[in-house]
Amino acid sequence: MQKEILHFKEIGEAHRFRGTLLILHGLFGSLDNWQTVARTLAEIYHVVLADLRNHGRSFRAESMSYPEMAADVAHLIEYLQPLRTTVVGHSMGGKVAMQLAADFPNHLQKLVVIDIAPRAYPPHHQHILEGLNAIPLDKLQSRQQAEEILSHYVDLPSIRQFLLKNLYRTEDNRFTWRFHLPVITREIQQIGAPLTYSQPINIPALFVKGERSSYITDEDAVQIANIFPHSQLITIPNASHWVHAEQPTALIKALHTFVAL
């Protein structure tokens, strides 16, 4: 059976000869989260935004290991056949990008990882999963009702709005999620799994840390340097984990500088 291709969107196709930036979103996200940044980058580059498996409009699957998700992205790259590919991944997407570099090093020329390290992370989204699973989709009357339920589990309005961007009505006027919630709930331990690799990864890599984020520690910086000997780590001021949403101009500048090297 032919392998399915991830749902994707291309912007700036005319700049394909300048190189391609393939952007991967994080957990509970979709390619829509990167549209604003992508439009600016597409003034210079060919930009491809992708929905990872069980997210957005991509296919549903019963497992979510990083080797599997990296293989999905490799298949997309083989389908698109871009020139001089730089893969950019945020959070979970950053782990997928690292795994791609480990398993398919010939599929990309450069790597950008935003606010995630190669190590294992303990599950820390349980309150979000509890809140999402508490929303009765079959009885839900409005988005406002969904936000009210979610507010008992997720304090920050910005995070609730981010999650609820995935809630939509089907053609028969029922509510459902863009992400595959049952599988994400079941496989959440896999989302925290570490990078698997057999030797140092020599692809040029840029790691980006949000100044106010705790996802990349000093100990992580040592591990990153050991696994990715041709990497650099920079910090974006006044940014938390959501670097692309909070400091898009600084991130875009850093991407331009790195890709142009």
Which sign does the torsion angle of CA 49, 53, 57, 59 carry? Answer: positive
CA 48 to chain centre: 13
Among this protein's residues, is 241 annotated catalytic? yes
Count of alpha carbons within 13 Å of 22, Cβ hemisphere only? 34
Q: Whole-angstrom Cα distance, residue 257 to residue 47?
A: 16
Annotation marks residue 198 as catalytic: no
pLDDT in tens, 96-155: 999 999 999 999 999 999 999 999 999 889 999 999 999 999 999 999 999 999 999 999
pLDDT in the model for residue 3 = 85
Report the pLDDT value the prediction gives residue 1, as an integer from 0 to 100.
Answer: 58
Catalytic residue among 90, 180, 241, 244: 241
Exactly one of 58, 91, 213, 231 is catalytic; name it. Answer: 91
Specify the pTM: 0.96
Amino acid 138: pLDDT: 93
Hey, what are 175's tokens? 């509510």
Specify the CATH architecture of the domain 8-121+194-260.
3-Layer(aba) Sandwich (3.40)
User: Which sequence spans correspond to the domains of the chain?
Assistant: 8-121+194-260, 126-188
234/237 Cα distance (integer angstroms): 10
Residue labelled with tokens 């790259």: 77
Pick out the chain residues at pLDDT < 50: none
Contact 121, 143 (CB under 8 A): no
pLDDT of residue 178: 96
Distance CA 147, CA 159 (A): 11
Quote the CA–CA distance of 54 and 44 in Å, as a whole number. 30
